[in-house]
Amino acid sequence: DQQVKQNSPSLSVQEGRISILNCDYTNSMFDYFLWYKKYPAEGPTFLISISSIKDKNEDGRFTVFLNKSAKHLSLHIVPSQPGDSAVYFCAASANFGNEKLTFGTGTRLTIIP
Amino acid sequence: DAGITQSPRHKVTETGTPVTLRCHQTENHRYMYWYRQDPGHGLRLIHYSYGVKDTDKGEVSDGYSVSRSKTEDFLLTLESATSSQTSVYFCAIRPDYYSYNEQFFGPGTRLTV
């Protein structure tokens, strides 16, 4: 039972355009959501997060949107740069302070110069 | 930099042999985690620890055991390695000073059985 789903295994975007990565979840108890970025042969690195009391969080070129009624979140990267090419994982945790994360299967983003 | 190291970084072993992977942190945080990453599955939690000698199972714990005798070290043991345990293994920590569940990852160990 995949509680966090990333239905697009891959995405290609032209440099300078907007990249939109999507994530859906099924567990209504999830109240904190995170995005991680992973380069080959490295560990995932934390990118941005959002709690369920917000519907948007922005950090530079990265914005995460949360639609609780649809159980959907998205990561927007504007403008996309070649260094953004990586695998992106969304993750969720339940009950503020819970110690475990549930990850999606990842989306490979390729930025085309 | 969360000060997390993993050893070894690469290992090739034979079916049926025991294998121990080590995760070391420099900041003495309570929470430590072991994940495996496989294509199509994202990151899956194997075991985690919330203090010395305090551990709990994750979603894919069968065939794995863990130990934490010191705050800074978290060991993952495959008692009798199988080919299905070929994977990339990541250790993570959750800083004690964080209110939310951001986790920070080590560089990973690639294990081939």
pLDDT tens digits along A68-79: 999 999 999 999
CB contact under 8 A, A42 and B107: yes
How large is the C-alpha radius of gyration of chain B? 13
Instruction: Tell me the pLDDT band of B100, cut-offs 50, 70 and 90.
Output: confident
A chain contacts of residue B100, beta-carbon cutoff 8 Å: 32, 49, 51, 96-97
In the DSSP assignment, the letter for residue B30 is: S
pLDDT of residue B31: 93
Q: For the stretch A7-23, what's the b/e string if a residue is b when 16 or more beta carbons lie within 10 angstroms of its beta carbon? A: eeeeeebeeeeebbbbb
Q: Which residues does chain A have with pLDDT short of 50? A: none
Q: Test B105 with A43 for CB contact under 8 angstroms.
A: yes
Coil/strand/helix, residue B84: helix
B16-68 per-position pLDDT tens digit = 999 999 999 998 899 999 999 998 899 999 999 999 999 999 999 999 999 99
Query: Which two three-digit tokens encode residue B86?
Result: 């070929």
The DSSP 8-state label assigned to residue B85 in this structure reads G
| Average pLDDT of every residue of chain B | 94
Average pLDDT over residues B85-101: 89
3-state class (DSSP) for residue B40 = coil
Q: Is A16 helix (H, G, I), strand (E, B) or coil?
A: coil
Chain A residues with CB under 8 Å of B43 CB are: 44, 89, 91, 103
Give pLDDT, residue A98: 65
- B101, B106, B107 member nearest A93 (Cβ): B101
- Pick the closest to residue B89 from B20, B2, B3 (CA basis): B20
pLDDT of residue B65: 97
